Amino acid sequence: MDAAIVAGLANALTPANMLFALTGCLLGTLVGILPGLGPASAMAILLPLAVHLPPEGSIIIMAGIYYGAMYGGSTTAILMNIPGEVSSVITAIDGFAMTKAGRAGEALGIAAIGSFMAGIAGTLAIALIGPRLADLALKFGPPEYLGLVIFSMSTLVSFAGSSLVAGIALGILGMWIATVGTDPLTGTQRLSLGSIQLMKGFDIVPVLVGLFGIAEVLTSLQQKVARIHMGPLGSWLSMIPRGAEMARGLAASVRGTVLGFVMGLLPGMLPALTAYLAYDVEKRISATPERFGTGMIEGVASPEAANNATAMAGFIPLLSLGIPTSPALAILFGTLLINGLTPGPLLFQAQAQLTWTVIGSMLVANAALLILNLPLVGLWARLAQVPYSVLGPVVLVICVIGAYSPRNTMFDVWVAIAFGLIGYFMRRLNLPLAPLVLGLLLGPLFEQSLRQSIAVAASPLDIIGRPIPATLMAAAILVMGATVVVRRRSSAVGQLIKDSTNET
Amino acid sequence: MHSRAPIAAGIALSLGLAFALPAGAQEKYPSKPIDLLVPFAPGASTDTGGRIIAQALEARWKVPVRVVNKPGGNTVPAVSEVMTAKPDGTTILVDGMPQSSMLDTVVKTLPFKVEDRTFLAVTSYTPIMMFVPADSPFKTVKDAAESLKKDPGSFTWTSIGGASGLDMAFRQFCRDNGIDVKKTRTVVTKGGSEAVTLASGGHVMLGLGTYTGAAASLSAGKLRMIAVAAQERWPTIPETPTGKEMGFPSLNVEFWVGFSGPPKLPAHIVETWTKALAEIVADPATKEKMAKVGLKDLYEDAATMQKRVARERRDTQDLYK
């Protein structure tokens, strides 16, 4: 066993495997920077390649794309207010505010440092608990998930913008949009109006590409923004935050890492969701919550660390239980199978050297990503210094490709354009986008866990009487109540909520 | 000058082609890239099974054979696209039970007829299996049947919703036991892996799925496999009996991967496909690749495939009355 760890780690340092790691990271960063094109679709496109590469090579590349995208997604979110990945949506709020204040360098710096920290800590955690963990995820049955989803929904209240009613209504609208298509229980059609296209439902990718990518381009074109990037980046050394700000950023990164990692062990907790939660936690524990949305370093550090930690954490249920917790990991699961590897607790023993090579390559990849994202960030940032008349159309084209690629259908392109217009008008009307997105993400999880709970429970007491769901639901009510009370009492907090939810 | 020769050759070639095209009654097939439409997301059995064949076809035919995933909508959008495509052999469906035998039972208002497609061949299958938590009181599938008969209203089992292979296997099990499936408690999950988790954690009484999905938990000792819903036992778990052996004769869902084309696909294209598929499936290298992703090679020609779909379709209609 010990010999296999050493052999595996050494194997990760062979030129071929380091090249695979670097290629994956480069592709992942690119995918992360391009709005719309997500890691899942990029991995899906590359899946046929996996057959031609050696097993460890294909897994290392796929994994590199997956967490590379988590790093890359923050770059455009911070510099251009266009999240390259859904998981960086929340980073844009304070990240872009920092850019507008001329502190883009520090924002990118802490995002890269936080991501790196989460990546390394995550890798070590995988190495430590991966082989030992098999029971934790199994404790979570449908009622426990229901509790978790309800708790996640309590964040709706704090993302609700200036009007609580409008925010909650938008959250419900998001859930409603998510129900269009095929009923997961009976297979019957819901709200498809007899259309074959609507039977597929709205995929999250084109909706987000529209709401964020296309709407952003439309808004920027209308505002006649000549250049998006506001401040000079300076040398890469000057990008590293200093003094008290560095300390605050690092502390937030640690909190984000822990939260993202723990939540990331559970299926359905996508990096986007944990980034939301991490941001919310930061805002709640901050001594100056009213300054969120104006360029708080915590608002960048914590969600960026959280989304990376979640991405890493997903490897634990995947490798040790064979449970993919997100679509991108499901594709990685397929990559493992194509290479003849069956994930499970046995994987760490039966394929010890290969498993440790992959884990070793995660360390290599995270180091590579730090280099790609700190000294080379200027390179990526040049994307943003291109005049908007050039960049806008390019972003639009990428959005269209990104909307098309996950399901290879023109319908999704029309959906993206429609949601682009919706997002544009929502911004003009000062309506927050966050609750709508949260509703879209949580709606299907809520429906599924509720219907599953009803199926397994003999009475409602079987659901709310269990300790984990009961605690989570009580916590959700407390949090919502507290938020409402604080909003009423303090106009400053009301303003913070308004500012933080109106991204532009 | 050197450059004249290739140009001259190019002209000659294009002239030759120009003459060849109208001259031959049939255009050589395949000469253009082929799209294989998979109505599911990448990584699913239908997808991996399709990709193995796509790769072999590409090597054999020297034209690009692309696997295009168009998931969602109960497979209707993807199937519909194949059904309305030009029957020139460039658009082919990676077929299977949900998109053929079960489709018109689940979706009543289909814009096409299921049996109108041009069947090509079946290439592989994976049987649906029944498993229980490791600490379950059910030692055999007969114990599960007893419990189902005694108290159907508290019997929990996993489905992936709508009409699926898993759902069908459980309905066959109910039918064999004379129980109305509507009385049981269906726990719908998003996919096979979630069903495995629920069963491994003891949250449901019976889980259904394929071997690939359950393999990890099985070797970790979290699950016990109690029945294989197929004609034969599964090679990697030879100790698990088939449903038939245990006295449940109709418990049989061989979740297959096959190929079909748009209606009225010309006979020479059908022949090219069935011949190629027969040879590819017979190749030991293919069998090995299939085994890696939990599929077993199974070749059935177009006529046999059509009979299979007709048989399964009748069974589905009976089960979803």
SS3 sequence of A412-444: HHHHHHHHHHHHHHHHHCCCCCHHHHHHHHHHH
Q: Is A379 exposed, middle or buried (0-12, 13-18, 19+ CB in 10 A)?
A: exposed
From B58's Cα to the closest Cα of chain A, the distance in A is 12
b/e per residue, A223-247, with b = 16+ CB within 10 A?
eebeebbbbebeebeebebeeebbe
From A347's Cα to the closest Cα of chain B, the distance in A is 9
DSSP A356-375: HHHHHHHHHHHHHHHHHHTT
Tens digit of pLDDT for each residue in B210-246? 888 888 788 888 899 999 999 999 999 999 999 999 9
pLDDT of residue A237: 63
Question: If pLDDT is split at 50, 70 and 90, which confidence band does B116 have?
Answer: very high
User: Quick check: A338 pLDDT over 50?
Assistant: yes
pLDDT of residue A148: 77
Q: In angstroms, rounded to a whole number, what is the distance separating the alpha carbons of residues A99 and A61?
A: 32
In this prediction the ipTM stands at: 0.73
Secondary structure (3-state) at B102 = coil
User: Quick check: B294 pLDDT over 80?
Assistant: yes
**Average pLDDT, stretch B189-200?**
80
Contact assessment for residue A92 and residue A77, using Cβ atoms and an 8 Å cutoff:
yes
Across the interface, which of A327, A337, A345 has its CB nearest the CB of B293? A337
Q: What is the DSSP letter of B242?
A: B
Higher pLDDT, B263 or A354: B263
User: Quick check: B13 pLDDT over 50?
Assistant: no
What is the count of residue pairs from A and B with beta carbons less than 8 Å apart?
163
Record: contact A342-B215, CB cut-off 8 A: yes
Test the B interface: residue of A43, A47, A139 with most B CBs within 10 Å: A47
Q: Which of B296, B320, B298, B307 is nearest to B210 (CA)?
A: B296
CA atoms within 13 A on the CB side of B278: 12
Mean pLDDT is lowest, of A26-30, A169-173, A249-253, B50-54, for A26-30
Tens digit of pLDDT for each residue in A400-428? 877 787 677 888 899 989 998 998 998 88
Q: In angstroms, rounded to a whole number, what is the distance separating the alpha carbons of residues B170 and B190?
A: 17
Q: In angstroms, rounded to a whole number, what is the distance separating the alpha carbons of residues B131 and B128?
A: 10
pLDDT of residue B279: 96
From B73's Cα to the closest Cα of chain A, the distance in A is 4
- Residue A477 burial (CB count, 10 A): 12
Question: If pLDDT is split at 50, 70 and 90, which confidence band does B255 have?
Answer: very high
Question: If pLDDT is split at 50, 70 and 90, which confidence band does A49 have?
Answer: low
Contact assessment for residue B142 and residue B247, using Cβ atoms and an 8 Å cutoff:
yes
Q: In angstroms, rounded to a whole number, what is the distance separating the alpha carbons of residues B177 and B148?
A: 8
| Residue A32 tokens, joined | 């992360």
pLDDT of residue A72: 79
**Average pLDDT, stretch A249-255?**
91
Higher pLDDT, A446 or B190: A446
Q: In angstroms, rounded to a whole number, what is the distance separating the alpha carbons of residues B270 and B277?
A: 11
Helix (H) or strand (E) holding A67: helix A55-80
Q: In angstroms, rounded to a whole number, what is the distance separating the alpha carbons of residues A254 and A110?
A: 12
**Average pLDDT, stretch A375-391?**
66
Cα A78 to chain centroid distance, Å, stands at: 15
Across the interface, which of B106, B189, B201 has its CB nearest the CB of A187? B106
Record: contact A182-B72, CB cut-off 8 A: yes
Question: If pLDDT is split at 50, 70 and 90, which confidence band does A385 have?
Answer: low
pLDDT of residue A344: 65
Contact assessment for residue A303 and residue A257, using Cβ atoms and an 8 Å cutoff:
no
Tens digit of pLDDT for each residue in A72-114? 778 878 887 777 677 788 888 888 888 888 788 888 888 888 8
pLDDT of residue B155: 95
**Average pLDDT, stretch A347-373?**
82
Place of tokens 């035919």: B61
- Tell me the H-state helices in chain B: 4-23, 45-61, 76-83, 103-106, 141-150, 165-176, 192-200, 211-219, 267-282, 284-292, 302-319
Q: In angstroms, rounded to a whole number, what is the distance separating the alpha carbons of residues B78 and B95?
A: 11
| Phi and psi at residue B28, to the nearest 5° | -60, 130
Each as own residue / partner, the long-range contacts of residues B146-155 (CB below 8 Å, 24 or more positions apart, any chain) are: B147/B205, B148/B173, B148/B174, B148/B177, B148/B179, B148/B184, B149/B177, B149/B178, B149/B179, B152/B179, B152/B180, B152/B183, B152/B184, B153/B183, B153/B184, B153/B185, B154/A458, B154/B185, B155/B184, B155/B185, B155/B205, B155/B206
Q: In angstroms, rounded to a whole number, what is the distance separating the alpha carbons of residues B69 and B77?
A: 11
Question: If pLDDT is split at 50, 70 and 90, which confidence band does A236 have?
Answer: low
Contact assessment for residue A104 and residue A233, using Cβ atoms and an 8 Å cutoff:
yes
**Average pLDDT, stretch B283-296?**
92
Q: Which of A56, A187, A334, A28 is nearest to B67 (CA)?
A: A334
Tens digit of pLDDT for each residue in B271-280? 999 999 999 9
| Residue B290 tokens, joined | 């299939």
Contact list in B for residue A47 (CB cut-off 8 A) is: 42-43, 51
User: Quick check: A55 pLDDT over 90?
Assistant: no
Contact assessment for residue B267 and residue B110, using Cβ atoms and an 8 Å cutoff:
no
The pLDDT mean for chain A works out to: 78
Contact list in A for residue B156 (CB cut-off 8 A) is: 455-456
User: Quick check: A226 pLDDT over 70?
Assistant: no
Contact list in A for residue B292 (CB cut-off 8 A) is: 337-340
Contact assessment for residue B129 and residue B217, using Cβ atoms and an 8 Å cutoff:
no
Residues pairing with B69 in the sheet: B38
Tens digit of pLDDT for each residue in B29-54? 999 899 999 988 777 788 889 999 99
Contact list in B for residue A201 (CB cut-off 8 A) is: 72-73
Mean pLDDT is lowest, of A36-50, A133-147, A449-463, for A36-50
Tens digit of pLDDT for each residue in B121-130? 999 999 999 9
pLDDT of residue B4: 44
User: Quick check: B266 pLDDT over 90?
Assistant: yes
Q: Which of residues 242-301 of B touch A (CB under 8 A)?
A: 292-294
pLDDT of residue A3: 72
Q: Which of A211, A322, A275, A320 is nearest to A69 (CA)?
A: A275
The count of residues in chain A is 504
Mean pLDDT is lowest, of A35-49, A107-121, A129-143, B283-297, for A35-49
Q: Which of A372, A444, A408, A354 is nearest to A44 (CA)?
A: A408
Question: If pLDDT is split at 50, 70 and 90, which confidence band does B313 have?
Answer: very high
Contact list in A for residue B210 (CB cut-off 8 A) is: none
Give me the percent of chain A exceeding a pLDDT of 70: 78
Test the B interface: residue of A139, A190, A323 with most B CBs within 10 Å: A323
pLDDT of residue B132: 96
The count of residues in chain B is 321
Place of tokens 């069963």: B199
Contact assessment for residue B212 and residue B129, using Cβ atoms and an 8 Å cutoff:
no
Q: Which of A307, A309, A332, A308 is nearest to A322 (CA)?
A: A332
User: Quick check: A323 pLDDT over 70?
Assistant: no
User: Quick check: A253 pLDDT over 60?
Assistant: yes
pLDDT of residue A201: 81
pTM assigned to the model: 0.72
Across the interface, which of B188, B190, B216 has its CB nearest the CB of A321? B216
Test the B interface: residue of A52, A133, A144, A199 with most B CBs within 10 Å: A199
Find the helix packing angle between A55-80 and A298-313, rounded to 10°. Answer: 160
From A202's Cα to the closest Cα of chain B, the distance in A is 10
The pLDDT mean for chain B works out to: 87
